[in-house]
């Protein structure tokens, strides 16, 4: 019967350390090349969308439902089929949806860039003319949001996630009094990496809270709306309706893509926002493109003809992904639970498991794994400025490796966690 590591005496700790070290050395000797760092779909997942590749094959079938020749310039907002689809995915009216290129991240960057250059619908002046811009960042969160902020010199304020969204008392208090807080990043469904699903109460409070900045913006990155790991789906969020009802229709700007529905590098993205935000954005958007890649839009429109088609593809992804998540969760449970040195979420969807280890051990664990051939997301990546204040969060991305690789990777990870935890406990008793 195992007991919590903290209850081991020094001799017991040293003995366990020696045993684990020799197992760790045997992993090191294998020259492993394992990677659980990024949320990449596996080749098998990408193969599911062969039908997308084959959907537009010759000069006679490159016309859209409305008879548009998708090879040519036209339709700045994108094909109506896809605008309809994303309008349903995001619960935003059809006219407020624009289809982008392959990456929603580009659209997010462009939105922030536009705010700096020209301002958003309700900005008194471009953000570049403010003394400083601050944004709220629920943590742990998505490192690329922070990279966008850093590239514009935006000051980031961490807000803890609670399991059903950010700590709203904190959000409301800050937003009500500071005019330089211009926005918040949210990933409302299966948040990266914690798996949070924002409750309706949280969404309602975000939509309704008073904000000192007139142009306070919810950057709603809905990257994983149907990315179930259980086979059941969450209802589309109705943040736009809530904001409209609160008289704050310009507050949310939505982003989504098919990166993890079809192809991570060859999907389609979208941005959705209010009429006034579009009006303000149009000169800048129209200066950038005549139309996006409609041939790729057509491929997607043919395969994903409605929400049911998206959902059935996501169930196929689920079949491939859920055994991987199960394997990792079971291995963590079997190897760690009784030692009391780590906890983790059991996500219902998305691409990540968020692991919480003893304070001051995450960097060491990630380093140990790296030295033995397992690359994990770098320490602190889930936090603004890459600083995890307690050095205790590790993001696991089980989607890409095979089951066999995951087995080895998780065993090595658990050994590394125990080694680092013992080192940490022994350092206190020195």
**Residues contributing to the site for ligand PLP (CB under 6 A):** 39, 103-105, 142, 187, 192, 221, 223, 257, 259, 269
Angstrom distances, CA of residue 264 to CA of 41, 43, 46, 84: 7, 11, 8, 21
Whether residue 101 contacts residue 149, with contact meaning beta carbons closer than 8 Å, is answered with no
Tell the smallest beta-carbon distance from residue 167 to ligand PLP (Å).
19
Closest CA to 280 of 119, 144, 147, 56: 119
Closest CA to 138 of 168, 178, 175: 168
Tell the smallest beta-carbon distance from residue 296 to ligand PLP (Å).
13
Whether residue 344 contacts residue 329, with contact meaning beta carbons closer than 8 Å, is answered with yes
CB nearer ligand PLP, residue 257 or residue 296: 257
Tell the smallest beta-carbon distance from residue 192 to ligand PLP (Å).
4
Tell the smallest beta-carbon distance from residue 258 to ligand PLP (Å).
8
231: left (phi over 0), alpha (psi -120 to 50) or beta: left
Tell the smallest beta-carbon distance from residue 266 to ligand PLP (Å).
10
* Phi/psi at 217 (5° precision): -125, 135
CB nearer ligand PLP, residue 192 or residue 228: 192
* Phi/psi at 64 (5° precision): -85, 175
CB nearer ligand PLP, residue 186 or residue 417: 186
CB nearer ligand PLP, residue 27 or residue 383: 383
CB nearer ligand PLP, residue 259 or residue 421: 259
CB nearer ligand PLP, residue 24 or residue 185: 185
Q: Tally the C-alpha atoms within 13 A of residue 209's C-alpha that lie toward its C-beta.
A: 27
CB nearer ligand PLP, residue 257 or residue 410: 257
CB nearer ligand PLP, residue 91 or residue 222: 222
Distance separating alpha carbons of residues 350 and 385, to the nearest angstrom: 24
Question: Which are the contacts of 15, defined by CB distance < 8 A and separation ≥ 6?
Answer: none
CB nearer ligand PLP, residue 161 or residue 342: 161
Tell the smallest beta-carbon distance from residue 194 to ligand PLP (Å).
11
- DSSP labels, 263-321: -TTT--EEEE--HHHHHHHHHHHHHH-S---HHHHHHHHHH--SHHHHHHHHHHHHHHH
Tell the smallest beta-carbon distance from residue 257 to ligand PLP (Å).
3
Tell the smallest beta-carbon distance from residue 393 to ligand PLP (Å).
16
Angstrom distances, CA of residue 284 to CA of 98, 127, 269, 280, 290: 14, 15, 18, 8, 12
Tell the smallest beta-carbon distance from residue 77 to ligand PLP (Å).
18
User: 95: helix, coil or strand?
Assistant: helix
């Amino acid at each position: 019967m195992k007991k919590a590591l903290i209850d081991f005496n020094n001799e017991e700790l040293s003995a366990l350390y020696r045993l684990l070290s020799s197992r760790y050395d045997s992993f090191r000797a294998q020259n492993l090349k394992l990677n659980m760092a990024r949320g990449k779909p596996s080749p098998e997942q990408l193969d599911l969308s062969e039908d997308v590749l084959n959907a537009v094959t010759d000069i006679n079938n490159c016309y859209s439902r409305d008879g548009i020749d998708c090879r040519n310039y036209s339709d700045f907002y994108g094909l109506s089929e896809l605008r309809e689809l994303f309008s349903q995915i995001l619960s935003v009216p059809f006219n407020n949806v624009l289809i982008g290129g392959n990456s929603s991240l580009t659209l997010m960057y462009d939105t922030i860039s536009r705010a700096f250059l020209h301002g958003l619908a309700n900005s008194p002046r471009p953000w570049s003319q403010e003394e400083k811009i601050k944004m709220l960042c629920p943590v742990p969160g998505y490192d690329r949001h922070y990279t966008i902020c850093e590239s514009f010199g935006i000051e980031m304020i961490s807000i803890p996630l609670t399991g059903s969204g950010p700590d709203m008392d904190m959000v409301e208090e800050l937003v009500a009094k500071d005019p330089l807080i211009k926005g918040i990043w949210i990933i409302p469904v299966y948040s990266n990496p914690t798996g949070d699903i924002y409750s309706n109460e949280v969404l309602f409070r975000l939509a309704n809270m008073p904000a000192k900045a007139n142009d306070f913006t919810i950057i709603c990155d809905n990257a994983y709306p149907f990315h179930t790991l259980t086979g059941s789906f969450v209802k589309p969020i109705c943040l736009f309706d809530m904001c409209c009802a609160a008289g704050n229709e310009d507050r949310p700007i939505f982003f989504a893509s098919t990166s993890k529905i079809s192809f991570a590098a060859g999907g389609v993205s979208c941005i959705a926002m209010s009429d006034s935000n579009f009006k303000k954005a149009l000169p800048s958007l129209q200066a950038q493109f005549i139309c996006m890649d409609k041939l790729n839009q057509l491929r997607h429109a043919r395969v994903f003809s409605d929400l049911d088609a998206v959902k059935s593809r996501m169930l196929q992804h689920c079949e491939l992904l859920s055994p991987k998540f199960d394997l990792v969760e079971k291995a963590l449970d079997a190897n760690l639970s009784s030692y009391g040195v780590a906890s983790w979420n059991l996500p219902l969807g998305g691409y990540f498991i968020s692991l919480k280890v003893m304070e001051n051990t995450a960097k060491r664990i990630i380093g140990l794994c790296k030295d033995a051939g397992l690359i994990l997301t770098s320490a602190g990546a889930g936090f603004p400025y890459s600083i995890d204040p307690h050095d205790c969060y590790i993001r696991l991305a089980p989607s890409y490796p095979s089951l066999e690789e995951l087995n080895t990777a998780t065993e090595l990870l658990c050994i590394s966690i125990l080694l680092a935890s013992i080192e940490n406990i022994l350092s206190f008793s020195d």
